[in-house]
Each structure stands twice: as structure tokens, then as C-alpha cells.
């Protein structure tokens, strides 16, 4: 079946460090891929998205490239800030269904 695998957290970085959060998926067809961010006590906010191979989603300095050959959608940011501390969820939505499948989430903590 379809699934999303994210790297285990928590990830602790110093301010201005480089961030990578790995996400790989298993799906039939051509899923849409998403990264969502959740701040404490809040719902999910869309960070970026991509719908086909080699698409790059980007927003607020975050980037992720849809790699079909490696079935990956890794999240990257060149220089993290304390305000980026949150939980990040990778998700997919497959063709023909509106359901999301979420990864387990990766908690990021950025220290000043």
C-alpha cells in the first residue's frame, strides 16, 4: 500500500545551520507531495508542494524536489532560525483519491 517514511526526530540544530529532513514514499501512479509544518498547539500549515517529477516546491527558504527515481521529497533549508522550531510532516495524495497519507512527523528544535 501507499506509505510515507520520515526520518526520526527530534532534530536539534544551531541557528544558521543547514537543515535536511528526509522523506521517502511508496505509491502507485503519480502522487502529489506536500510538506506541512505544525507549531505547538496549532493546526497544520502548508509549507510547500509538488505534483510531478522534478518539480521543486519552495517557500520561506525551504525547498523540496520531487524525485521519482528515488521516490523522495527531502526538505531542505540553507540557514534555519529559532522560529523554524516546529514539527514537519511529509504527506502524499494519490491520484483518484483525496486522502492524505502522512509521515510520522519530525520535530525540529533550533537553538540560538
Partner 1 sequence: GAVVSQHPSWVICKSGTSVKIECRSLDFQATTMFWYRQFPKQSLMLMATSNEGSKATYEQGVEKDKFLINHASLTLSTLTVTSAHPEDSSFYICSARAPTSGVYNEQFFGPGTRLTVL
Judged by the rule CB under 8 A, the positions of this chain that interact with partner 1 are: 32, 34, 36, 41-46, 49, 51, 89, 93, 97-100, 102-105, 107
Distance between CA 53 and CA 71 in Å, rounded?
Answer: 9
Enumerate the β-bridge partners of residue 107.
87
Task: Indicate the residue among 49 and 74 with the shorter CB distance to partner 1.
Answer: 49
Q: Least Å distance between CB 86 and partner 1?
A: 13
Which residue's CB is nearer to partner 1, number 96 or number 112? 96
CB environment 32-47: b (16+ within 10 A), e (fewer):
bbbbbbeeeeeebeeb
Beta strands at 11-14 and 62-65: parallel, antiparallel or unpaired: unpaired
Which residue, 42 or 69, is less far from partner 1 as judged by CB?
Answer: 42
Please report how close the Cβ of residue 95 comes to partner 1 at its closest, in angstroms: 8
Amino acid at each position: 500500500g501507499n506509505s510515507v517514511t520520515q526520518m526520526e526526530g527530534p532534530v536539534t540544530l544551531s541557528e544558521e545551520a543547514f537543515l535536511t529532513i528526509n522523506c521517502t514514499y511508496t505509491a502507485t501512479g503519480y502522487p502529489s507531495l506536500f510538506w506541512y509544518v505544525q507549531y505547538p498547539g496549532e493546526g497544520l500549515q502548508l509549507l510547500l508542494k509538488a505534483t510531478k517529477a522534478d518539480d521543486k516546491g519552495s517557500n520561506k527558504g525551504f525547498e523540496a524536489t520531487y524525485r521519482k527515481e528515488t521516490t523522495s521529497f527531502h526538505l531542505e533549508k540553507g540557514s534555519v532560525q529559532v522560529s523554524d522550531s516546529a514539527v514537519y510532516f511529509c504527506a502524499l495524495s494519490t491520484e483518484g483519491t483525496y486522502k492524505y497519507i502522512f509521515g510520522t512527523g519530525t520535530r525540529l528544535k533550533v537553538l540560538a
